[in-house]
Amino acid sequence: MATRINKYLSEVGYCSRRAADSLIEEGKVTINGEITEMGTKVDDGDQVEVEGQRIEKSTKHEKIYLVFNKPAGIVCTTDRRVESDNIIDFIKYPTRIFPIGRLDKPSEGLIFLTNDGDIVNKILRARNNHEKEYIVSVNRPINRDFINRMSNGVEILDTITKNCFVKQLGPKKFRIILTQGLNRQIRRMCESLGFRVKSLKRVRIMNIKLDVSTGEYREFTKEELFELNELLKNSSKTYD
């Protein structure tokens, strides 16, 4: 049965569909020696290559799910030519995996890595309203007005952020739970209110809390994976 090329690369565990789309747009993917286009389908027996590397489906494709505590300064990219401090070279996992979503270079904390493209696509859909929790420190004291304004939506990137939970933890520190993932959202929200983020750490994604030391990783427990799949049950595998 023919499969769209981006879905094929996702299903074999090479990368997420979004990453596959980028590779296709950059002309890095070929089918039977020909540079492919978005939407092209792969048939059984076709030879797929990414930057000259042969990509094949495995009859036994073991799914890998990792919890990783990303240090500040590590970049969430799988392109080892772009950054010397990328997440894949840092972890040195023995088989190919890729991060689910991103944490920008100065940020730290919880990020998932996997070779399961379907779970990547479901988690990344903002409309699924999956919670992500952060601990943030800023450059000057915050007050009730700051908390209320952060909670009730801030204008950034030509939109108003969704209402969210925000709680003050100290003179310059707060906890925030988001259900959307705009680019550098928390930093932009703070900047819009006249504050600068000094440190940002993600401590939870959905049902999974950060519980490993900085720079360390572990596999999901069976219980975590079961509960995560239950939370994702009604999520679409595709994206708009």
User: Could you tell me the end-to-end alpha-carbon distance of the chain, in angstroms, rounded to an integer?
Assistant: 23
pLDDT value of residue 80: 61
Q: What are phi and psi of 62, to 5 degrees?
A: -70, 125
Structure tokens at 238: 């595709």
d(C-alpha 114, C-alpha 64), whole Å: 5
- Classify residue 184 by burial, with Cβ atoms within 10 Å: 0-12, 13-18, 19+: middle
Q: What is the pTM of this model?
A: 0.77
25 vs 76: CA distance, rounded Å: 20
| Distance in angstroms (rounded) separating the CA atoms of residues 187 and 205 | 18
Looking at residue 101, the DSSP 8-state letter turns out to be S
Rounded distance between C-alpha atoms, residue 80 and residue 23, angstroms: 14
Planar angle of CA 118, 17, 90, nearest 5 degrees:
85
pLDDT score for 238: 46
User: How much is the pLDDT for 186?
Assistant: 97
C-alpha to C-alpha distance for 108 and 198, rounded to whole angstroms: 12
Task: Determine the average pLDDT of the residues in 179-207.
Answer: 95
The predicted pLDDT at position 61 comes to: 62
- Joined together, the tokens standing for residue 32 give 């039977």
pLDDT in tens, 7-61: 888 777 787 787 888 889 999 999 999 999 998 988 888 899 998 888 876 544 6
The confidence score (pLDDT) of residue 11 equals 76
Q: What is the pLDDT of residue 81?
A: 65
Q: Which residues are catalytic?
A: 104
- Would you state the pLDDT for residue 223? 94
Nearest alpha-carbon partner for 69 in 120, 138, 135, 127: 135
- pLDDT tens for 74-114 read 998 876 666 668 898 899 998 888 898 889 999 999 999 99
E strand or H helix at 52: none
State residue 59's pLDDT score.
44
The closest alpha carbon to 216, from 65, 66, 68, 107, belongs to 68
Q: What is the mean pLDDT of the chain?
A: 88
Rounded CA separation 222/63 (Å): 12
Question: Domains of the chain (ranges plus CATH)?
Answer: 3-55 (3.10.290.10), 65-125+209-231 (3.30.70.580), 131-205 (3.30.70.1560)
Q: Which of 196, 195, 217, 198 is nearest to 208 (CA)?
A: 217
pLDDT tens-place string over residues 195-230: 999 999 999 999 999 999 999 999 999 999 999 888
pLDDT at 135: 98
- pLDDT recorded at residue 134: 98
pLDDT at 130 over 90: no
Rounded to an integer, what distance in angstroms lies between the CA atom of residue 230 and that of residue 223?
11
Residue pair 132/138 in contact by the 8 Å Cβ criterion = no
